[in-house]
Structures are given as C-alpha cells and as structure tokens.
Amino acid sequence: MKVTETKLKGCFVLEPRVFEDERGYFFESFNHKAFCEAIGQQVNFVQDNQSYSTRGVLRGLHYQKGEHAQAKLVRVLQGRVLDVAVDLRESSPTYGQHISIELTGENKKQLFIPRGFAHGFVVLSDSAHFFYKCDNYYNKESEGTIKFDDQTLDIDWQISKSELRVSGKDLKNSYLKV
C-alpha cells in the first residue's frame, strides 16, 4: 500500500496494491495493522457506512463535534466522486484549508480524514457507491455543517452549480467563520 500525506497534516491518500489478471483483480482494502503503521497512529473503526448517489448529488460538508468527533476512511466502490476534506482544527496551520481528490472504483484510492475535519463529496459519474469507515458512532446532536459554496473555502466541485443536487438540510448549512 502506498500512503501519501496531503498538505493537511494527518490527512492521507492510500493506494492499495492491486493484483490483476484475466479473471479480474484482487486487493486488500483494509488491514488494521498495516493501516495504523502507515499513518503513524492507532485508529479503531467502529462503524461502516455506504451510500448510493446519482450524478450531481453533493453530500456535505459534515463533521461531528466534541467527544463524538469522527475520523473516516473513505473510498468509492463504483463510480467517480470528488471528495473534499476541510481542516477545522483551530490550532492547525492549515485551519480553513481544504484538499480535494478524485476517488473512483477504478483507481481504488482511499482518503483518511482525521478527527477535526469536515467532509463532503459530489458524484461526477452517472452514479456512485460510496463507502466509509468511522472511528466513532454518529451522534445527531454533535453534527456540524458548512455550506458547500462557502466563499472562504472556494471549493471547485468540478461540476456546474446548476447540475448540483443538494439536500434541503445541506442548503441550510452555515458558512465557515475563519
């Protein structure tokens, strides 16, 4: 597995070794020991989530606050998404900055997003199956949100605003105060 830290400390791109032949492919999608060694910290995932979305669906930007904060390991099983992580750690030199990466069923890349980050994605293909592991259980009262079109963040979602399909809940998100 190739592991690359992004410009946001603690946020990593993971690329598995894929073994392909005429029958198809095989790869180890998760190995707890190898994962923890690669990122240099102990993370114990307790919940797996999966979503299905069609082109233009934008989910985010979401995060969990306080004792319910979550680290996530995200990947796409089928399709193509632009995945975005925003550093919300006020003591971080990259506070308020974001990274984006294209995750696809073909490239099999994964993104590890540590606690203290907001997360969101938009579907670029006709549809996508999105999968992620969380190291803490979801708690509705601890949910925080940031509006996807926050001008401070200036995220290029790589799809026209007229094509975006955003939930009513996410349209009510607040803007980041930097």
CATH of region 2-167: 2.60.120.10
Question: Each residue of 36-89: pLDDT tens digit?
Answer: 999 999 999 999 999 999 999 999 999 999 999 999 999 999 999 999 999 999
**In whole numbers, what is the pLDDT of the chain averaged over residues?**
96
> Is 25 noted as a catalytic residue in this protein?
no
Is 32 designated active site? no
Residue-range domain boundaries for the chain: 2-167
Question: Which residue among the candidates 98, 129, 132, 138 is catalytic per the annotation?
Answer: 132
pTM above 0.85, yes or no: yes
How far is residue 62's CA from residue 68's CA, in Å, rounded to a whole number? 13
Residues across the chain: 178
pLDDT band for 178, please (50, 70, 90 cuts).
Answer: low
**Residue in 32, 52, 62, 175 annotated catalytic:** 62
Distance CA 71, CA 74 (A): 10
pLDDT one-digit tens code per residue, 90-119: 999 999 999 999 999 999 999 999 999 999
CA distances (Å), 53 to each of 18, 33, 178, in order?
A: 26, 31, 31
